[in-house]
A and B are shown apart, each in its own frame.
Chain A
Amino acid sequence: MTTTKSAATLNADNNLLLEGPLLRLPLEVLRKIFKSSQRYIENDGKKLCELARDAAAKAPQVSPETSLESLNAMITRMQTLKRKMETLHGEEKAIHKQSRKRVSHLNDLHSLTSLLEDGYESWSKIRLDRFMVDYMLRNGYSDSARQLAHEQNIDDLVDVDVFVQCWNIEESLRNKKTTECLAWCAEHKTALKKIKSTLEFELRLQVYIELVRERKLKEAASYTRKHLSGSFDTHTTEFLRASCMLAFPPERPGPYRALYAESRWDHLVKTFVSTHHNLYNLPQEPLLHVALAAGLSSLKTPSCHSTLSTRHNTACSVTSLCPICSTELNELAKPVPYGHHTTSWVDHDLVLLPNGRVYGTKRLSDLAGKLGLDSGKIRDPISGEEYDYTEVRKVFIS
């Protein structure tokens, strides 16, 4: 069944393509909270049971005071566990509250039916604010992001903390420090294993390369034994290459130039960011890029970068300047393809003026009326030339 749907119909589900991260990211945080609580309960449970067993076994031999002491130690541990769990619960509740706000934001979209409603405009404005915050965070402009989110009252709709953490690790890698990133890997060990990430291996390899670069060969060798040998089976070639590079100092890298290269750090940054976004179910590119690229292309026309652009756009009554022609986006839109159209889009009753420009009759007569021209006279709205109405010719656009 095909019915012609108006281009203004709002299909909320189609608008959701860009909104996945809005709910998926908090979900990943929730999952992380769950994993931490599971780890706490497992570790502390094991430890407490051990303590209880020990205390019970020793009880007949030691004084009641000593036993009481070990019991007190157990109580303290239990209290700490409870506190840790309560902190997690607090975080969990905050995520629930935040997700609820996000769901209600998406529900606002679902309550609309037309793209022309005012409601859609204000919803899209919030969306743009969210995308700008997302863009700023991914580029490390966290103060701007925070300030914008706060001013627009969308703190619950953006994920400042996750991105700031990500950015800090990126920065530490750019400063050639691996500690933060390795700690992050340890924190997400199971998840990384699941997606077969090579991030940790690459990081360890880099630590090793830096040791070799400084000619700390002994430490390099022991580092290999400790951290790299476990990955021998999965990364055999890299492992062997790394072992051989010991013989080539950085001044004469021979075939190992690539391993010594500074660009390996950039590669690490990229690998980390893409792994991070993968793990949190985030698109690799800023949402603003995705929306903007599609928008630029669908709005762009051959006139937007025409050398004659000032002479164009006469035959339709839109007088507002096109967003692609405006300074903000003009250059950005240069490389993208222009939109495809199968039908002409012009005013009714077109006429040609002697200067070669085409206008709708109504536009010309409206203007003549407004300017109070003598009857039978018209003026070109753009060039200002005045003509007699008898000089115009009808134009037929089929």
Chain B
Amino acid sequence: MDAIEKELDRLTSQANLSKSIKDIDRCLQMLMAARSTIEKDPSATTRELQTLEPKLKAGFQDANDSLKGLHGGIAKYTKALDKKFKHATNENGFDALANNQPLINRAIMMHLLREGKFEVADTFSKEAGLVDTVPPILEREFRELYSIQESLRQRQLGPAIEWAAKRRDVLEAKASNLEFELHRLQYLVFLCSGGVNDPKKALEYSRSWFLPFQHKYLSGLYSLCLCFGWTMPLTEHIIEISQLAGCLLWRGKMANSPYAAMVQDDSSWQSIIDSFTKEFCGLLRLSAESPLYVATTAGAIALPTFNKMATIMKAKKTEWTSQNELPVEVPLPDKFKYHSIFVCPVSKEQTTDLNPPMMIPCGHVLAKDTVNKLARGTGSRYKCPYCPADSLPKDAQEIFL
């Protein structure tokens, strides 16, 4: 990039039109000077005019020469770019997604809604004629998602708590911690805000909201109450006794406690926003991060591999898009893996609907095709490739990973 910047510097500082403009200006000044001479002394007209052509010629020659500098500058800049951007964007020259405009439009539309870009989404939907591509109910959901996210960004927990409370049953069935986490944060916010009445508020809050959770989160609650210096947090009268003592204990120290850090820390707010988004989208049967974002990012990371692949495939006169499975593994960071993947240790094939993973009696897992092959397609007894046990193909059990 440095070379590119250097050449760009040259373009802005020297290799531009300013010199030619100066040359042209000089010609202009020269013509004006001639005019004032003639105006003062009309008898000089012919003599003056005769000098103009050679002067103009020289002047334009200068302007042209200055342009050469610009030309050189552009050529050098081009070279610097060529060096950095050696490869074509798409070695394949093949557009796998052509003719999929409606689906791509929908994906973009949903991405815009997800990101809270409602105005752009509106313009886009009109311009691209996307009536009803995204169900209006989904749009409403996204608006709610965005407004709750916004209030969380402003550190207001109310709307999120209300949302979670309404869906307590579904969330609990999913073993989600969301509601509890929201309440915990709210409690800490009260506790750490430093106003005279806030500790009392925190106490009242904990009493009314944590009781429903006491079975599930005993240890979590316990640690929360530690900041009061309590040992038996949920017994009503102890709370009241500790109220006075507790206040005295931590007043003034709260700002330095780890709990205060938790409330002030951006990352704890970001993580509550993330878990909220995940639950919200999960209930809509949508992925938490924008799929369009994840896929383009993964694609950008994978592109060098694809281009290499395309070059090889071109030599073989096939397209990578014409097969069921990519011919090579694309290295992606683990966070881009969303499914459990089982590769049969014998056939080295990924299992599919038609060729599912099977567990054989000894506990080892093989692909169905492999089991059949081992039994020579006759259903006869075979030995496990990984241990001495032998078994019949009919005893293998299909499993779901």
Contact = CB atoms under 8 A, between A and B. Distances in A.
Interface of A: 7-8, 13-21, 23-24, 27, 30-31, 33-34, 37-38, 41-42, 45, 48-49, 52-53, 55-56, 59-60, 64, 67-68, 71-72, 74-75, 78-79, 81-82, 85-86, 88-89, 92-93, 96, 99-100, 103, 106-107, 110, 115-116, 124-125, 127-128, 131-132, 135-136, 139, 141-144, 147-148, 151, 283-285, 287-299, 301-304, 306-308, 311-316, 318-329, 331-332, 335-347, 352, 356-358, 367, 370-372, 381, 384, 393-398
Given A20-B81, A78-B27, 9 more contacts: A107-B1, A294-B302, A299-B338, A316-B337, A322-B339, A323-B294, A325-B338, A339-B329, A370-B216
Given A124-B293, A321-B287, A342-B348, A398 B386 contact: yes
B339 A340 contact: no
Contacts of B177: 370
Contacts of A326: 285-287, 291
B361 to A, nearest CB: 10
Of A48, A85, A110, A292, most B-chain CB atoms within 10 Å: A292
A21 B81 CA distance: 10
Contacts of B338: 299, 301, 313, 318, 320-325
Interface stretch (B117-125, B235-243, B373-381): B117-125
B89 interface: yes
19 contacts: A37-B70, A56-B49, A68-B45, A75-B35, A78-B27, A115-B333, A127-B300, A139-B101, A148-B120, A288-B296, A290-B90, A290-B95, A293-B321, A306-B352, A307-B353, A314-B400, A321-B281, A342-B348, A396-B365
B85 A20 contact: yes
Pairs of residues from A and B, 3 with the lowest C-beta to C-beta distance, nearest first? A295-B299, A323-B291, A322-B338
Contacts of B11: 30, 96
Contacts of A19: 85
A328 B103 CA distance: 8
B119 A147 contact: yes
Given A8-B333, A291-B303, A52 B56 contact: yes
A124 B300 contact: yes
A49 B57 contact: yes
Given A103-B8, A131-B296, A27 B74 contact: yes
Contacts of B97: 285, 289, 292-293, 332
A100 B345 contact: no
Nearest to B31: A75
Instruction: State the main secondary structure of chain A at its contact with B.
Output: helix
A371 B1 CA distance: 55
Nearest to A321: B287
Interface in B243-264: none
A20 B295 contact: no
A20 B84 CA distance: 9
A144 B128 contact: yes
Interface stretch (B107-115, B160-168, B183-191, B226-234): B107-115
A353 B231 CA distance: 40
A34 B71 contact: yes
A314 to B, nearest CB: 6
Interface residues of B, number: 139
B339 A41 contact: no
Interface in B379-401: 386, 397-401
Nearest to A50: B53
B111 A328 contact: yes
A45 B56 CA distance: 8
Contacts of B193: none
Nearest to B13: A96
Contacts of B67: 34, 37-38, 41
A289 B85 contact: no
A52 B50 CA distance: 8
B129 to A, nearest CB: 10
Interface of B: 1, 4-5, 8, 11-12, 16-18, 20-21, 24-25, 27-28, 31-32, 34-35, 38-39, 42, 45-46, 49-50, 52-53, 56-57, 60, 63-64, 67, 70-71, 74, 77-78, 81, 84-85, 87-90, 93, 95-98, 100-101, 103-104, 106-108, 110-112, 117, 119-120, 123-124, 127-128, 173, 175, 177, 215-216, 278, 281-282, 285-307, 320-321, 323-343, 345, 348, 350-353, 359, 362-365, 386, 397-401
Contact of B292 (A31, A303, A328): A328
B35 A144 contact: no
A268 to B, nearest CB: 19
Nearest to A346: B340
Of A7, A106, A315, A328, most B-chain CB atoms within 10 Å: A328
A15 B108 CA distance: 22
Nearest to A66: B45
Contact of B89 (A85, A127, A283, A307): A283
Contact of B60 (A41, A307, A332): A41
A317 to B, nearest CB: 9
Given A68-B39, A147-B120, A328-B110, A128 B297 contact: yes
A313 B339 contact: yes
A301 B324 CA distance: 11
B217 to A, nearest CB: 8
Given A82-B28, A290-B90, A395-B365, A341 B12 contact: no
Contacts of A315: 340, 342, 401
